[in-house]
Structure 1
Amino acid sequence: MIRAGWHLINPGVRFCLVALAALFLASCTTTTIDQYRQGDTGIEGHESVVILGRRQGAAYETREEFVECVGDRMGNGRDGVNIVPEQLFVDALFPWFEPRTAPMRSDDLEQLMAQPLVPEKISEFGIRYIVWLDGETQRTNEMGSI
């Protein structure tokens, strides 16, 4: 019996196989939901939701792609809601939602809403809910074999 080893496969074919495997592995995502409550939102057609990623400096931040993905899912479909893009919201409410100044707890948000311009801007966007996503990306061994 003759066996073909990995080293006997044409380098071009080997590269394509590795690239294909990397593509499939890169598209795998696991999401853990720590808290989940479902109920009627009572959100009207003119009201919006803004989804913000938790950012605490360069060392800890929720990936923008994840925030956008959640927003896309919430905005699509028959019962989709109006989603305000995160960066548009953060820019409009500068400096209150920048990583170093964004409220970390609901008590902090209450204090922030006491600022004269913040409720006004939120009202301009028609925001009914502010959703914070908190998460991190964990990379495992990126080497693999077929």
Structure 2
Amino acid sequence: MTLRACLLRIACCCVPPLLGGCVNATVDHMVFNSPVDGIGDASVIILGRRHASDYETEPDFIRCVGNHIAARDKSIRIVDEFEFINAMYPWFEPRTAPLQPADLERLLEHAPVAEKLAAMDPEYLIWIDGSTVRTDSAGSMTCGIGPGGAGCFGFGTWSNDATYEAAIWNFGQRAEVGRINATAIGQSYMPAVVLPIPIIAPVQGTACDSIGDQLLEFLSQHY
């Protein structure tokens, strides 16, 4: 097993205030078994895990990662998540989706499932698990209407944490061949002197770009 740790640090608060808040991101990239053959015209399926009771991996995050990869390497064919789930219903719903690569054998025992997967010709199935949550907030703001008009005054701040993990399954080998962990922590601000001015930290977008870049590097090496 080889281990490559890629630490991507994004400088905090080095942008003009109106562009965004502060974001720090870290990515760990682990490759267990790097295949040597290209995958040619085969496809890549990217799905979000939604088994937890307290959160779900956001569909827009999965779409963001897929779009990030497809925009930078048009030779990589990404299967749309919802089109895949609808076509494979109910085999990739949260209660029936495979939790381990070996579970794919169980699915292939069903002829309709095997036929649909054969038509899609997937080489990699990538599961992304995680979410972006607000962790804390501080400050206060008051708004009112007076003879001179309406306005607000105050200052607020809050933090968002994004934590995602991508598990890369090689469909043909029925084995996990890589894993990527990405975290992004951001501080957003809302100053208000008459008008509130949101200064939003692009936490989820930064995590999307971080995972997307690492997946793109992995996939591009094997096309």
Regarding TM over 0.5, the answer is yes
TM-score scaled by length of structure 2: 0.47
- Provide TM-score, normalisation by structure 1: 0.68
- Structure 1 residue 96 corresponds to structure 2 residue 91: yes
2:127 corresponds in structure 1 to: 132
Q: As a proportion of its length, which structure holds more strand?
A: 2
- Tell me the secondary structure at the aligned position of residue 133 of structure 2: coil
Runs of 4+ in 1 over 3 A off after TM superposition: 20-23, 27-41
Residues in 1 aligned to 2:70 and 2:30: alpha-carbon distance in whole angstroms: 21
Aligned letter for 1:81? I
Partner SS, residue 118 of structure 2: helix
Q: Identify unmatched segments of 5+ residues in structure 1.
A: 1-19
2:197 corresponding residue in structure 1: none
Equivalence map 1:70-81=2 (5 Å): 70-78=65-73, 80-81=75-76
What's 2:56 paired with?
Answer: 61
Q: Does 1:141 align with 2:130?
A: no
1:110 to 99, 105, 116: 105
Aligned to 1:121: 116
Map of 2:45 onto structure 1:
50
Q: Deviations over 1:5-46 (max 9, x none)?
A: xxxxxxxxxxxxxxx969724x958464463466656121x3
Partner of 1:3: none
Check 1:137–1:83 CA distance in 2 against 1; reply closer, same or farther (3 A cut). Answer: same
| TM-superposition CA deviations, 1:36-93 (whole Å, max 9, x none) | 466656121x321110001115523211122112111221224640001000000000
SS at match of 1:135: strand
Confirm or deny: 8 A CA contact 1:57 1:99 kept in the other structure.
Answer: no
In the TM superposition, residue 142 of structure 1 has moved relative to its aligned partner by 3.9
Q: One-letter code of the match for 2:79? A: V
Instruction: Measure, in 2, the Cα distance between the counterparts of 1:59 and 1:120.
Output: 35
Q: Give the percent of matched residue pairs that are identical in Structure 1 and Structure 2.
A: 37
Contact 1:57 1:100 in 2 (8 A): no
Structure 1 residue 109 displacement after superposition: 2.1
CA RMSD across the alignment = 2.9
Q: Return closer, same or farther for 1:94/1:22 CA change in 2, 3 Å cut-off.
A: farther
Higher helix share: 1
